[in-house]
Structure 1
Amino acid sequence: MSDFPLLTLSILVPLVGAVALMFLPERSGVGARTTNLPQTVALGVSLLTLVVVGVLAAGYDTGAEGYQFSEVHEWIGAFGAHYAVGVDGIGLTLILLTAILTPVVIAASWRDGDNGRWSTKSFFAWMLALEGLALGTFAAIDVFLFYVLFEATLIPIYFLIGGFGGAKRSYAAVKFLIFSLLGGLVMLASVIGLYVESAGSDGGPTYLLTELVPIMAEADTGYARWLFVGFFFAFATKAPMVPVHTWLPDAADEATPGTSVLLVSILDKIGTFGMMRFCLGLFPEASQWATPVVLVLAVVSVLYGGLVAINQRSIPRLIAYTSVSHFGFIVLGIFVFNSAGQTGSLLYMFNHGLSTGVLFLVTGFLISRGGSRLIPDYGGVQKVAPVLAGVFLVGGLSSLSLPGLSPFVSEYLVMTGAFLYDWWYAVFAVLGIVIAALYILLMFQRTMTGPLRPSLATMPDLNRREVAALAPLLVLIVALGFYPKPLIDVIEPAVETTLSQVGVSDPAPAVDESSAATEESGE
């Protein structure tokens, strides 16, 4: 099975599905039996992709070293570019997240493409296209291929926001595109710099990660640091981190709920994935050189995102700012350079996708019923929609990392890693946990409890389709909260490899000398 191109198949299935979807009629059937063909086909394609990824995950060997299911084919010989894909624990974790979330988003967004401006089939075709491109990005082990896919993911998300968003959709889409293109152009300079460096090596120009790592190990320190800055700026913008985060609240506020999930839970993870895969892998010395500044930015993101979230009136904007805070935790875990922090960081990427997915989707269901995004327009919703309120609460408690829910394990590991590195960073990050309890519980209190607003008296509860769409995420949040071992077993070997590339190891356990001497004398 390892010789079968499963990775390529997982990428092609949604891309081919997206193209095929554009040739389908909007609807089929007559009268009451009318079938929503675009939605049905899109859901079927995304489930088929999930099956392919499931087969790939089942065949992944957690004890093997290096990339698995690798495929390498020459693409542009003059550049040294290859179509090269492969997975380790880092890539597989995010590929699984993408494959799980996409069918959930499609099922939850069944009516969101019917806006009268664009066709429904184009809405779901762009979703499938984004899934295929994201899978390719997480699987790419050639820097040039990664860059092409990194930029290509902007296309579907731009049209999903600009074509199907709210009243200020054009502004939000253009702002997102400008920030993303700026980051991409800066990274392009570093990509060209890698070509120049590799062209002077004995083997000639190459973009293969396995060949670039030893080449960059011999590169001039100052040169490598400049290349690191180019990559990191692009990834920090994508993540996003303070101060290049301002595009996210506008995009999340105007996009459909499903688009927001794809944007925050999948697309933005390319930024933190890139930090682990490329910044640490290609520029280990530069990564350690930049660590003090990066950790300060991470802590600032944690605190700033949380504090600003408290004062938001719009629910989607509030969730967007919580994600700025969460991404601060993820970056903190990456750059403390120990196995606890990096394992927690990668696990955080996966679990944040689940919890934020639930929050955005259930918020979308609430807004579609209440007709407003603003917190003050709600109150007492749990009296008429107890299931919606219950799911909203679980999603909120998951976001604040309640013990027993999956994000808790991630945050615990990140904080452990931060304490091992330098307790000052951990102390400030802990404040972010306290702030998270404030913005989540206040939001729930103001929208779901208290007197019922008369305008909401007839609000319907979640229907069976909506509950079925959210159920897989809720099950995973609880299951991984109590038993995260299967995912950790996939992550840990990749983290160990990354740390060895950077040239660091976990600190030895501290032993009190007086206690040790007492024990020895007792013997």
Structure 2
Amino acid sequence: MSHTVMQSLLAAIVVLPLVGAVAALLPAPPGLKGRDPGQAVLRHGVTVTGAVLALTVALAAGFDHDHPARMQATTDLSWIPALHIRIHLGVDGISLPLLLLTALLTFLGALYSYFRPPTGPGAPSPKAYVALLLVLEAGSLASFAVLDLVLFFLAFETVLIPMYFLIARWGGEDRERSAWRFVLYTLLGSVVMLLGLLLVGIKGGTFDMVALATDNGAGLSHSTQLLAVLAIGTGLAVKAPMWPLHTWLPDAHTAAPTVGSVLLAGVLLKMGTYGFVRILLPVAPDGMHAFAPYLAAFAAVGIIYGSLVCLALARKGARGDLKRLIAYSSVGHMGFVLLGIATLTPTGVNGALFANVAHGLITGLLFFLVGALKDRYGTSDLDSLSGTTGAALYGRAPRLGGLLAFGAVASLGLPGLAGFWGEMLAMFGAFRPADGLSRPAFVTFMALAGLGTLLTAAYLLVVVRRVCMGEQKEHNAVPAFADVQAYEFAAWSPLVALTVVAGLWPAVLLGLTDPAVQQLLGGGN
């Protein structure tokens, strides 16, 4: 495929959701209204996100897989000449899987919303919902496609407002407080990150990520790199979320509507870890080397902490919320991603990128399933979902129970499914970290991560036992509910299929990321 076609595809992928968002707010043409204007605008959301997904698949098909380390489909236009800020877009083996993941999850979310329109106390019309969903998609795609530090910051911030409104207007209990916490935490982190990005741009003489990565930090002094990693890393760590900066996440997930939770886990958390790989590793290698042991320590604590909280929530009588439990499991899973990055080795960073995509697929599926369970049962409280009056899914909705069990075993890292490879490679990276890093310390972090995988298996199996198994003595006490519907099957099956494909054929993803990671760590040589 020619460079011009690829260039146009990438530009269209970023711009089309914004155009769609504006169109969603306009009155529908008379012929498209159908029976219900609300359905018409939800159908518009499916159409636009479907078109973006098709364009992203076309971009992936035209991508030169023999040279995944090279920036492809690049657009480089001057935007603010006085500040040397350019509209610079491009895609390589690191960003392409994340673009595909974002386009897929947004399309599946829009499809799910078409058949199950979002509701909420005093929720506005579907017009606003679809427009916010499309703005969220545009900001997410732009974050993975831009190659200018200032544009990255703008795209990084764009997603905050739509996610705030999705939680505050269509969320569940305590939604407004959760939405405010999400915005305030992320904004405070972003302010610090902006200072770090400006420091790098001014000291390095350019805001262009490719130029800065090629220099490999040569234009930045050691103290500048330390400050840059501290400032930018703090902002990225809030979004990742790294322990102890994760406290906004459980509330946001618990209150968010189903599709909001799917996108928050599957896409927004990835922006933080992507920033570490795309910006800090190549631009400030000395600073990353200095802070790597601390990042790894926080990651290891996060893995154990997330698992222990989940175990506490899963036990009988704890009144644990299933959505909250999966949110805390994300703290542990993203800990593996941060541990892989902290090893500063190709093995660890490839593991981190693999775990990123795997987490998006598996946790996206789990949030869809829990949302469906809550819709049917009226609650996601674990004590209500278990026991003699509980869900007992294997008996009453076997397909839903089977999918929940599949999501759980994928999340605990069962070999043959996507969750296994990223965690294993991150631990391999920690076993032999980069030169100059303390091997005994990293082997300790690896051991803690290994313990975390055992704890993860423990709480997920407890959840499966309590929700899927169980007696059905008091039939009348439990309302009957449907098994998996056709639209749910359509929205979930791609995530199941990709989880299996990535688990059985990891080379399809590692073949893309590895050459690009080798180049980033080697300074573009």
Report the CA distance between 1:215 and its aligned residue.
8.1
User: Alignment partner for residue 347 of structure 2, among 319, 335, 340?
Assistant: 340
Task: Work out which of the residue numbers 456, 459, 467 in structure 1 matches 2:481.
Answer: 459
- Pick closer, same or farther for the CA change 1:74–1:434 going to 2, 3 Å: same
Residues 456-490 of structure 1 show CA distances to partners (whole Å, capped at 9, x for unaligned) of 34121121111111011111111221112221111
Report the counterpart of residue 202 of structure 1 in structure 2.
none
Match of 2:260 in 1: 259
Q: 2:427 & 2:216 partners in 1: Cα distance?
A: 34
- Which of the numbers 166, 169, 181 marks the counterpart of 2:172? 166
Q: Does 1:377 align with 2:384?
A: yes
Residue equivalent to 1:209: 209
Deviation at 1:195, TM superposition (A): 3.5
Measure the CA separation in 2 of the matches of 1:294 and 1:315: 29
Residues 457, 164 of structure 1: alpha-carbon distance in 2 compared, 3 angstrom cutoff: closer
CA deviation after TM superposition for structure 1 residue 348, in Å:
0.8
CA positional deviation for 1:166: 1.0
- The SS at the match of 1:89 is coil
Q: Pick which of 381-390 and 180-189 moved more.
A: 381-390
Inter-partner Cα distance in structure 1 for 2:242 and 2:311: 18
Shift of 1:424: 1.9
Contact 1:284 1:502 in 2 (8 A): no
**Counterpart in the other structure of 2:113:** 109
Superposed CA deviations along residues 224-264 of structure 1, whole A, max 9, x for unmatched, are 21111110000100000111000000000000111011111
Alignment of 1:137 with 2:143, yes or no, is yes
Q: Match of 2:70?
A: 66
Q: Tell me which of 426, 447, 458 is aligned to 1:427.
A: 447
Q: Aligned to 2:26, what secondary structure does the other structure show?
A: coil
Query: 2:253·2:324 contact (CA, 8 Å) conserved in 1?
Result: yes
Whole-angstrom distance in 2 between the partners of 1:269 and 1:147: 14
- Kindly provide the CA deviation profile for residues 151-203 of structure 1, in whole angstroms up to 9, marking residues without a partner as x: 111111111111110121110000000000001000111122124314xxxxx
Pairing 1:159-308 to 2, within 5 Å after superposition: 159-198=165-204, 205-213=205-213, 214=215, 216-308=217-309
Tell me the equivalent position of 1:517: none
Residues 203, 219 of structure 2: 8 Å contact kept = no
Partner Cα separation in structure 2 for residue 438 and residue 502 of structure 1? 43
Q: Distance in 1 between matches of 2:478 and 2:74?
A: 54
* 1:158 alignment partner AA: Y
> Does the alignment pair 1:450 with 2:477?
no
After superposition, the Cα gap between the structure-2 partners of 1:149 and 1:35, relative to the gap in structure 1 and judged at 3 Å, is closer
Q: Structure 1's 307 and 78: CA in aligned 2 closer, same or farther, altered over 3 A? A: same
What is the DSSP-based 3-state SS (H/G/I as helix, E as strand, rest coil) of the residue aligned with 2:192? helix
SS state at 2:75 partner: strand
CA deviation string 1:380-411 (max 9, x = no partner): 12211111111111111111111121111222
Q: Distance in 1 between matches of 2:224 and 2:429?
A: 30
Question: Partner amino acid for 1:143?
Answer: L
Mapped partners of 1:502, 1:334: distance in 2: 18
TM-score normalised by length of structure 2: 0.91
Given the two structures, how large is their TM-score scaled by the length of structure 1?
0.91
Is the 2:216–2:284 contact (alpha carbons within 8 Å) kept by the matching residues of 1?
Answer: no
Larger mean CA deviation between 110-119 and 146-155 belongs to: 110-119
Taking the aligned partners of 1:502 and 1:412, their CA distance within structure 2 comes to 27
Tell me if 1:314 matches 2:316: no
What residue in structure 2 maps to residue 511 of structure 1? none
Q: Distance in 2 between matches of 1:197 and 1:30?
A: 59
Amino acid at match of 2:294: V
3-state DSSP class of the match of 2:76?
strand
Q: Given residue 388 of structure 1, which amino acid in structure 2 is its aligned partner?
A: L
Cα RMSD, aligned residues only: 1.8
Match in the other structure for 2:507: 485
Are the counterparts in 1 of residues 79 and 86 from structure 2 also a CA contact under 8 Å?
Answer: yes
Question: 2:437 matched to which residue of 1?
Answer: none
Q: Can you give the 5+ residue segments of structure 1 that lack an aligned partner in the other structure?
A: 199-204, 504-523
How far apart are the structure 2 equivalents of 1:77 and 1:51?
A: 34
Q: Structure 1 residue aligned with 2:398, among 374, 386, 391?
A: 386
Q: Is the 8 A contact 1:166 1:255 kept in 2?
A: yes
Q: Which residue among 482, 498, 509 is the counterpart of 2:520?
A: 498
Cα shift readout 1:55-89 (whole Å, capped 9, x = no counterpart): 11111113324311111101111111111011111
Q: Does structure 2 conserve the Cα–Cα contact (< 8 Å) formed by 1:305 and 1:321?
A: yes
CA contact (8 A) 2:270 2:356 kept: yes
Which secondary structure state, in structure 1, belongs to the residue aligned with residue 140 of structure 2? Answer: helix
Query: Which segment is superposed worse, 78-87 or 103-112?
Result: 103-112
1:237 and 1:87 map into 2 onto residues whose CA distance is 25
Q: Give the deviation of 1:118 after TM superposition.
A: 1.1
Name the % identity.
Answer: 35
User: Aligned pair in 2 of structure 1 residues 288, 29: CA closer, same or farther (>3 Å)?
Assistant: same
C-alpha distance in structure 1 between counterparts of 2:187 and 2:479, whole Å: 46
Q: Secondary structure at the match of 1:37?
A: helix
**Are 2:200 and 2:220, in contact at CA under 8 Å, matched by a contact in 1?**
no
Task: Deviation per CA, 1:330-361: give whole Å up to 9, x if none.
Answer: 01111112222111110111111000011000
Secondary structure (helix, strand or coil) at the match of 1:243 reads: coil
Contact 1:24 1:38 in 2 (8 A): no
Q: Residues 59 and 302 from structure 1, CA distance in 2 versus in 1: closer, same or farther, beyond 3 angstroms?
A: same
Q: What pairs with 1:42-57 in structure 2 (closer than 5 Å)?
A: 42-57=45-60
Are 1:409 and 2:421 matched, yes or no? yes
Q: Which amino acid aligns with 1:178?
A: L
Deviates more, 1:105-114 or 1:169-178: 105-114
Structure 1 position 92 matched with structure 2 position 96: yes
Match of 2:439 in 1: none
Q: Check whether the contact 2:217–2:282 (CA below 8 A) recurs between aligned residues.
A: no
Amino acid corresponding to residue 122 of structure 1 in structure 2: A
Is the 8 Å Cα contact of residues 216 and 524 (structure 2) preserved in structure 1?
no
Answering whether residue 16 of structure 2 is matched by residue 10 of structure 1, we say no
